[in-house]
Amino acid sequence: MSKIKSAISASLAAAVMLAGAAFAQDPAAAEASTAPAPDTAFIFNTLSFMIMGMVVMFMAAGFCMLEAGLVRSKNAATICLKNITLYAIATVMVWLVGYNVIYGVDTGGYIGTLAIWSADDSKALETGYSASSDWFFQMVFVATAASIVSGTIAERVRLWPFFIFTALLTGLIYPIQASWEWGGGWLDARYGFSDFAGSTLVHATGGWAALAAAIALGPRRGKYGPNGEIVTIRGSSLPLATLGTFILWLGWFGFNGGSQLALGSLDDSIAISNIFVNTNMAAATGVITVVILCTFLKRKIDLSMALNGAIGGLVSITAEPLMPAVWQAAMIGAVGGGIIFVVTPMLEYARIDDVVGAIPAHLFCGMWGTIAVPLSNSDATFVGQAVGIAANGVFVFFTSLVIWFLMKIIIGIRASAEEEEKGLDDSEVGAPAWPDFHAGEKPLQPAE
């Protein structure tokens, strides 16, 4: 019995010594033992790109529903056709040329290579994610910029000029300016310009292109009275527009969260969680700000403006959703809501007809969000951010303006007065509209 007790005691002593040795090991070795294996990090990073990319892709449905709800019913089918086709065009153009223009640029350069993209996973573990998952995630961002243009110029632009411009925007205009920062080009290398998920590179780009198109097209017929008074043109379905806004709000979690570009470590998981919180907070304060301002200054709350308050808050936080404290995210979103309230009527008085309010939400809030980055990110400077905003604006706006005016001269870009009055669903799509009661049409009578 004594021998058994001795053996047990010796075993326990050995176990204690081994445990002590384990706890006393070098901290770096302990950390290495808990770090994910390279293939595990690769799997989670790739999965993040694919899931976040699918969520961002669903934003195309959000834009479609928002626009379809804010246009008259006689133009709703045209909006739906534009949105599904622009997504298809973006997909093909990013494959043909866009991706390599963004990421084929030399450090400090101005434009990447004009080449068709093909997946190269020969060094996949070094990269940290599959090439195709990254391509897909970047592609859906490009489609988002094109969607912004669609809503602004609704109800009067012809389809094929819009499709041609979409091809040029997604294949060249967007990729060139994105390469200046995300591709390591001159804005990143020389000025340290920072745009985490694209307040400027995506949203202001779409906003500048939309502004150029609105100027080239002019306002809708009937938008301004004979004495210059502003005429309210009501959309076909505010519930549909509200649904579209909720879809966009959801999509923004993929938009900003996926821009962390990794989910293979503890730090990345925490970062994405913080990004979600800040993104949601900015959208919320954007809405609340618009509701409060409308209540006290207009006496009635404008629902469409409140919807854009959410989008304005989301765009504002997109340039830096990771670094701000929650109160800073709330402040950034609130300023975005204020911008919506102030800029929307300013554009109307300037006779710039923006059907869905995309220019205030994406262009002006995009610039605000970008210039606000140094408030929470010490690596960015106000000078570098201002240079990036100016470079983006000059390049995208004037390039877009030239393209629109060239098409206006060569092929025409606007529907005729008769087509616009009847609705583009009839002339462009061949889908007769349901009666538009807002336009004074009589409802259909039941058959006897």
**Would 6 be classed as within a structural domain?**
no
Report if pTM > 0.85: yes
State pLDDT tens for residues 251-273: 999 999 999 999 999 999 999 99
- How many residues belong to the chain? 448
The pLDDT value recorded for residue 433 is 53
**Would 113 be classed as within a structural domain?**
no
Q: How many distinct structural domains can be found in the chain? A: 1
**Would 266 be classed as within a structural domain?**
yes
Using CA atoms, how far apart are residues 314 and 312, in angstroms rounded to an integer?
5
User: Would the pLDDT of 445 be above 80?
Assistant: no
CATH number of domain containing 258:
1.10.3430.10
Three-state SS string across 142-179, please?
Answer: HHHHHHHHHHHCCCCECHHHHHHHHHHHHHHHHHHHHH
**Would 206 be classed as within a structural domain?**
yes
**Would 214 be classed as within a structural domain?**
yes
* Ranges assigned E (strand) in 226-341: none
Q: Which of 366, 398, 371 is nearest to 204 (CA)?
A: 366
Domain range enclosing 258? 38-107+128-434
Q: How far apart are the first and last CA of the chain?
A: 105
pLDDT cut 70: percent of the chain above it: 88
Using CA atoms, how far apart are residues 141 and 304, in angstroms rounded to an integer?
24
User: Would the pLDDT of 19 be above 70?
Assistant: no
**Would 27 be classed as within a structural domain?**
no
The pLDDT value recorded for residue 415 is 95
Using CA atoms, how far apart are residues 39 and 42, in angstroms rounded to an integer?
5
State pLDDT tens for residues 189-229: 999 999 999 999 999 999 999 999 999 999 999 999 888 88
The pLDDT value recorded for residue 225 is 86
Q: What is the DSSP string of 233-249?
A: ---S-HHHHHHHHHHHH
Token pair recorded at residue 125: 């573990």
**Would 1 be classed as within a structural domain?**
no
Q: Which of 270, 385, 364 is nearest to 320 (CA)?
A: 385
**Would 148 be classed as within a structural domain?**
yes
Q: Are 220 and 232 in contact (CB under 8 A)?
A: no
Coil/strand/helix, residue 414: strand
Using CA atoms, how far apart are residues 17 and 163, in angstroms rounded to an integer?
73
Q: Which of 122, 60, 119 is nearest to 95 (CA)?
A: 119
